[in-house]
Amino acid sequence: METKLKKILQDKDMTQSDLCALLRGKGCDITESSMSRIVNGLQDLMVYNTLHPICLALKVTPKEVVEGKWTTALEKEFKEKETTEKNNQ
């Protein structure tokens, strides 16, 4: 799956290692090799537990990270889960 993460990281002057460290600091256990596969489109990013922390860390929406017909549905799910998480805090 093609992502826009490489461009987003460049725009934010961040490396994949920087993003991994940021995510680990927020409790997301992701390896640098997994991040490399995600950034290079070799690993599926559809898992909410991976996409959600990446979007929060980079302050972007799922639609800004990935392309495809399903992004509208994913964005809706993302917002619903985010609202549920906020209500549970």
Query: Would you write out the chain's pLDDT as a tens digit for each of its 89 residues?
Result: 567 899 999 999 999 999 999 999 988 888 899 889 888 877 766 566 788 888 889 999 888 887 765 566 667 777 777 777 778 87
CATH architecture for the domain at 5-87:
Orthogonal Bundle (1.10)
- pTM of the full predicted structure? 0.71
Nearest to 38 by CA among 26, 55, 27, 80: 55
The dihedral built from the CA positions of residue 21, 23, 27 and 28, taken in this order, carries a sign that is: negative
| Domain range list for the chain | 5-87
